[in-house]
Amino acid sequence: MRPLAYIVCTSPRTGSTLLCQGLYHSGRAGAPAEFFDHRTEVEEYWRRHYGIDRESDYVSGIILATSTSNGVFGTKLHWSTLLDMYRALRGSPDSPSSVRQGGSLNDLLHQRFSTVRYVWLRRRNKVAQGISHFKASRTSVWELPAALQPHPMEQLTSVDFDLRLIDKCVEWAHIYDNEWEAYFQRRHITPMQLFYEDLSSAYNQSLRAVLGFLDIPDVGLPDFVPQLKRLADETSVKWEQQYRALRP
């Protein structure tokens, strides 16, 4: 049995990629990413990336390929894909038959790992989150490496304000948070709670706090530096003001 699995529980536009990149670069916290998704192209990508030949070996292959030498495995999970991860673990041939017939995702993980922990990453400003989600979905620009030059602002500013669609994205942000909170309460799970606003303003301290929560020593690690550009711009600020004026 492996020593530790953790899940970054989140929703779109909360800085989850920023967090997971930092945890990966620690060299001690696995290589967390979105491994479980109902879209077949997601699993196919990871199977090619890690050389997992058989579909039936996907779960065990991902765990083996992405765990660090200390045995730590991490993954990122949006609320909308929780059922996908559950089905993947439950259907994996190496899951005990007693667990495959019932039990929760947490039960399935505890059959493989002696310790399972949850990091709940969300965003205080749901309007900003909704606007970010809307812009990313319309431009297909979800992230940009910090080293990328020049910044393709023309692509990010080629979208018009759409009150109805931003409303929907803001609503989803609230729904996903409510669903995660209810899930933790039902399963008697106490996650570490982290907010995007704190992660982005105190990146190094936030990463070290997460490692501490996971009982992973941070001794000897250099300061963590964000590897992604901040996509919020003047348009984002203007749209938030416009939205709040229309939805006081």
Q: Work out how many domains the chain is built from and give that number.
A: 1
Bridge partners (DSSP) listed for residue 63:
none
Q: How confident is the model at residue 158 (pLDDT cuts 50, 70, 90)?
A: confident
Q: Which residues contact 12 (CB under 8 A, 6 or more apart)?
A: 78, 129, 133, 136, 172, 173
pLDDT of residue 18: 97
**For residue 150, cis peptide bond before it (omega within 30 degrees of 0):** yes
Q: How confident is the model at residue 145 (pLDDT cuts 50, 70, 90)?
A: confident
CATH number at residue 93: 3.40.50.300
Span 8-26, average pLDDT: 97
Domain enclosing residue 144, as ranges: 2-246
pLDDT of residue 154: 54
213 token code pair: 């929560």
Only one residue has tokens 């570490």, namely: 192
pLDDT digits (tens, 9 = 90+) for 68-77: 999 999 999 9
